């Protein structure tokens, strides 16, 4: 069953008076439980595609469906709810809340959702702190962490609500290969155990190798969709 439907999507940015065609007619279907890699050179439109799927931006033309819902038909409120409850987003630049501690940053989406007790929230956050290898930094502020550590906080924040879909924009780009491997393993784990759908962009072949499928895009077009050997 598909969780994402993208059909004939184009995205044109306006840079002053020049139009930048970031996506020129992309179509793809993502099934539930996929562990999908979006690969392509810098500037090919990976981030743009993820933003559209993650409902933080809107396409110029074309259709984006998330969980069977046409996102162009949803109100801003419904879209926000969709982002909060269905989607976890790991941004290329970590985008943490500077005035909150690491623990609080990770806990924040849970607070927005409401529903869990303090103890339940703490259990989840601590579990992710451990899993991402930053267990001892819970009380620190993001500004006290290295780039790699911040990236792990961003990952933990995206995973904490156990969303159906996780979008990760170059999640390992700022990490050393060991940490990158840990993060990929963590995501792979969630994918296997909970059936969480993952879409992550990367241009690292080692990372791509973990994917169940790879979408290669170039110049704002899907070049090819490859199946990788180890499919889930």
11 touches other proteins (CB under 8 A): no
Cα separation, 130 vs 132, in Å, equals 5
Q: Identify which of residues 97 and 223 has a Cβ nearer to other proteins in the complex.
A: 97
91 touches other proteins (CB under 8 A): yes
**Binders of other proteins in range 149-178 (CB under 8 A):** 157-158
Cα separation, 203 vs 46, in Å, equals 10
Give which of other proteins, Mg ion, ligand ADP, none residue 22 binds (C-beta under 5 to 8 Å, depending on kind).
ligand ADP
Give which of ligand ADP, other proteins, Mg ion, none residue 91 binds (C-beta under 5 to 8 Å, depending on kind).
other proteins
Residue 130: DSSP 8-state? H
Cα separation, 90 vs 86, in Å, equals 14
Among 47, 191, 197, 202, binds Mg ion (CB under 5 A): 47
Task: Compute the radius of gyration of the chain from its Cα atoms.
Answer: 17
Binding residues for ligand ADP, rule: CB under 6 A, are 13, 15, 20, 22, 40, 42-48
* Whether 101 contacts 129, CB under 8 Å: no
Among 32, 57, 133, 181, binds other proteins (CB under 8 A): 57
* Whether 54 contacts 167, CB under 8 Å: yes
Write down the residue that tokens 């979408």 correspond to. Answer: 215
- What is the CB neighbour count within 10 angstroms for residue 5? 18
Give the list of residues 6+ apart from residue 201 with CB closer than 8 angstroms, or none. Answer: 37, 38, 39, 40, 46, 47, 49, 50, 168, 169, 170
45 touches other proteins (CB under 8 A): no
80 touches other proteins (CB under 8 A): yes
**Binders of other proteins in range 94-123 (CB under 8 A):** 95-100, 104, 108-109, 111-114
Cα separation, 151 vs 178, in Å, equals 14
Q: Identify which of residues 49 and 87 has a Cβ nearer to ligand ADP in the complex.
A: 49
CB of 109 to other proteins, least distance (A): 5
Q: Which residues contact other proteins (rule: CB under 8 A)?
A: 51, 54, 56-58, 76-77, 80-81, 83-85, 87, 89, 91, 95-100, 104, 108-109, 111-114, 157-158
């Amino acid at each position: 069953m598909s969780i994402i439907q993208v059909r004939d999507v184009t995205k044109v940015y306006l840079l002053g008076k020049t139009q930048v065609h970031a996506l020129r007619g992309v179509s793809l279907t993502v099934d539930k439980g996929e562990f999908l890699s979006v690969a392509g050179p810098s500037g090919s439109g990976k981030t743009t595609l993820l933003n559209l799927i993650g409902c933080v931006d809107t396409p110029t033309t074309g259709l984006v469906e998330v969980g069977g819902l046409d996102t162009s038909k949803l109100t801003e409120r419904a879209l926000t709810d969709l982002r909060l409850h269905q989607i976890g987003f790991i941004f290329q630049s970590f985008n943490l809340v500077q005035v909150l501690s690491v623990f609080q940053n990770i806990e924040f989406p849970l607070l927005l959702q409401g529903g869990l007790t303090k103890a339940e929230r703490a259990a989840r956050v601590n579990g992710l702190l451990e899993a991402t290898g930053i267990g001892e930094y819970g009380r620190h502020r993001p500004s006290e962490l290295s780039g790699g550590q911040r990236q792990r906080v961003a990952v933990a924040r995206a995973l904490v609500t156990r969303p159906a879909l996780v979008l990760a924009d170059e999640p390992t780009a700022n990490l050393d290969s060991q940490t990158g491997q840990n993060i990929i393993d963590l995501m792979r784990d969630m994918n296997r155990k909970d059936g969480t759908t993952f879409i992550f962009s990367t241009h690292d072949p080692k990372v791509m190798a973990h994917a169940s499928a790879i979408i290669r895009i170039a110049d704002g077009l899907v070049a090819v969709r490859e199946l990788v050997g180890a499919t889930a």
